[in-house]
Chains A and B, each alone.
Chain A
Amino acid sequence: EAQVTQNPRYLITVTGKKLTVTCSQNMNHEYMSWYRQDPGLGLRQIYYSMNVEVTDKGDVPEGYKVSRKEKRNFPLILESPSPNQTSLYFCASSFGQGDGYTFGSGTRLTVV
C-alpha cells in the first residue's frame, strides 16, 4: 500500500530534550515536506526537500532541522524543543509539481 509513515503518532517531551520524528514513504517520491498545523493558522511548511541531499526552508523553519540522506526518509529533528513547538506535525511527499501531496497520519507533539 502506497503510504507515508511517520512515527511516533503521539509524543510528550520536556523542554530541551532532543527528539526526532521519522518519516518514510514507499512511493519513490522525489519531493518531501514537513508541515505543522496549529489552530487558526492552517498548515505551515517547516522544511521541504526536492531530492536526496537537497533541502530548503519553508515558512517556519526556526528550531527545526531535517536531513535527506535517502530518497524514502525525511526525519524532522528538534535539537532543543520548546513549548511553542507543541503542535500537530505532518510529513508529506509527492512525485512532482502538479501532483497532490500524500500526507502521513500526523504526530501530535507536546513540549512541557
Chain B
Amino acid sequence: DQQVKQNSPSLSVQEGRISILNCDYTNSMFDYFLWYKKYPAEGPTFLISISSIKDKNEDGRFTVFLNKSAKHLSLHIVPSQPGDSAVYFCAAPSIMNYGGATNKLIFGTGTLLAVQP
C-alpha cells in the first residue's frame, strides 16, 4: 500500500503566526517526500523536500519535519504571510517491487491554507 494522506482540507491562520500542515503516509519504504504549493490557475510549484534519512529540513521560513516512527511529516511556515495562501500538496515517489524509488509521485489531496491579514 502506497498512500500519502492529508486529512485537513483547509487551515486558516493569522498573519505572522505559524502554519502547520500535516501529512501521513502508509509505506515506510518511501525514500523522500516533497511539498508543493499551488495557487489558483497555476501549476503546482516545488517548495521543499526531505530525505527519509533526515528528520528536519529547513529553507527560510519553511521547515519540514519527518517522524518516521509515526509515518508523519509536517510543513511549518513561520511567520505566515498572506502570500502563502494556497493549496499545499504533500507527495512521495512510489516504490518499485524490489524497493527502488520511481519518478512517479504520489500526491495527497491537498490542504488549502488561508493566511488572514
Interface residues of B in 36-53 (CB under 8 A from A): 36, 41-46, 49
How many residues does chain B have at the interface if contact means C-beta atoms less than 8 Å apart? 24
A105 touches B109 (CB 8 A): no
Q: Taking CB as reference atom, which chain A residue is nearest B109? A: A42
Interface residues of B in 72-117 (CB under 8 A from A): 89, 91, 93, 101-110
A108 to chain B, nearest CB (A): 9
A105 touches B41 (CB 8 A): yes
Chain A residues near B102: list those with CB within 8 A: 97
Which of B36, B42, B44 has the largest count of A CB atoms less than 10 A from its CB? B44
Which of A40, A43, A45, A50 has the largest count of B CB atoms less than 10 A from its CB? A43
Chain A residues near B36: list those with CB within 8 A: 100, 103
Which of B44, B103, B107 has the largest count of A CB atoms less than 10 A from its CB? B103
Tell me, in angstroms, the Cα distance from A90 to B110 when the chains sit together. Answer: 15
| B32 contacts partner chain A, Cβ-Cβ < 8 Å | yes
Q: Is the interface of B mostly helix, strand, loop or mixed?
A: strand
| A110 contacts partner chain B, Cβ-Cβ < 8 Å | no
| B34 contacts partner chain A, Cβ-Cβ < 8 Å | yes
A74 to chain B, nearest CB (A): 13
A105 touches B43 (CB 8 A): yes
How many residues does chain A have at the interface if contact means C-beta atoms less than 8 Å apart? 26
A4 touches B43 (CB 8 A): yes
A45 touches B109 (CB 8 A): no
B35 to chain A, nearest CB (A): 9
Tell me, in angstroms, the Cα distance from A91 to B45 when the chains sit together. Answer: 12
Chain A residues near B105: list those with CB within 8 A: 33, 43, 45, 101
B interface, CB within 8 angstroms of A: 6, 32, 34, 36, 41-46, 49, 89, 91, 93, 101-110
A interface, CB within 8 angstroms of B: 4, 31, 33, 35, 40-45, 48, 50, 58, 90, 92, 94, 96-98, 100-106
A-B contact pairs, 13 of them (CB 8 A): A4-B43, A33-B105, A42-B89, A42-B110, A43-B91, A43-B105, A45-B105, A50-B103, A96-B103, A101-B46, A103-B43, A103-B44, A106-B41
